Amino acid sequence: MSVKTDFLGLLLRGMAMGAADVVPGVSGGTIAFITGIYDRLLNSLRSFSPTLLLLLKNEGIGACWKKVDGTFLVCVFSGILISVLSFAHLISYLLAEYPVLIWSFFFGLILVSGFHMIRQVRHYSVTGGILFVLAAVSAYMIGTLTPASLTPTPLILFFAGSIAICAMILPGISGSFLLLLMGLYATVLQALKTLDLMVLTVFASGCVVGLLSFSHILSWLLRKHRDLALSLLTGLMVGALGKVWPWKQTLETRLNSSGQEVPFLEVNVSPFNYESLTGEPALLLPGLSLMVVAIVMFLVIEWLGSRK
């Protein structure tokens, strides 16, 4: 594979992560795991430590760039940035106009990626099973919480960024959904649409702090207790399926920052009762078809990765 092709591949992976991060309920960490760059991403982020300053002093910028896998980070985060800025409008439109179809695709993607993750566990144990169940229950319960409403002060935005970015690198926990729970999702999405530099700068600063600190913990867990960590992460992904279930009934709505009425409190319903409860077509066959497309797409990516 040529260097140019490798760069493009990393850029596209980053774009897929960015698109997922815009959607409440889907984690960019899930996409990183699916596309085979999860461990490399954590190791690269973990390289940012005080010892890096010593390396810079003794061996120069080139050694530091190699230590942090700089080219990899630039490609991936460029893709994330491009995707977030480009797809903020598109994702909002698709979620508003075709919610069943979009959530069906993501449901299939998360379902098969959870199966893929649990296959990576080498030695199953009772402790791993307990962690799996606790993580699944916790993720499901988080998905049922009613969103709050915080005032978007600079301090709140900073801490919201640090919390949301930690969720971004955890497969199964969506940073966008945590922003939704805090009542800040619309604020951040609007800032992305309008390029509000003040809001974005404060939020991004929190993201950097959270990302560099949390990546050390998660990387250590995967190096020292990989089977237990994978069981925990798989549980988070399985629990998140409740949040991305395609057929939902809206119980309460709210007005977003653009004055549009959007769902606020939703409950999962059977696709067979969906039309009678909501008045909207269930789109069962197209939804199931998109689930299958997502599963097949994942398996093809996995197969290509194993051939490489």
pLDDT in tens, 97-142: 888 998 898 888 778 877 877 887 888 889 999 999 998 898 788 7
**Is a pLDDT exceeding 60 seen at residue 256?**
no
**What's the confidence (pLDDT) of residue 253?**
67
**What's the confidence (pLDDT) of residue 290?**
92
* pLDDT tens, position by position, 48-59: 877 777 887 788
Q: Average per-residue pLDDT in the chain?
A: 80
* pLDDT tens, position by position, 74-87: 999 899 888 877 77
**What's the confidence (pLDDT) of residue 63?**
84
* pLDDT tens, position by position, 162-185: 888 877 777 656 677 677 667 777
**What's the confidence (pLDDT) of residue 132?**
92
**What's the confidence (pLDDT) of residue 1?**
46
Mean pLDDT of 27-49: 81
**What's the confidence (pLDDT) of residue 191?**
83
Count of domains for the chain: 1
Work out the percent of the chain whose per-residue pLDDT is above 90. 12
117's tokens: 């993750």
Show the domain range for 238.
Answer: 3-307
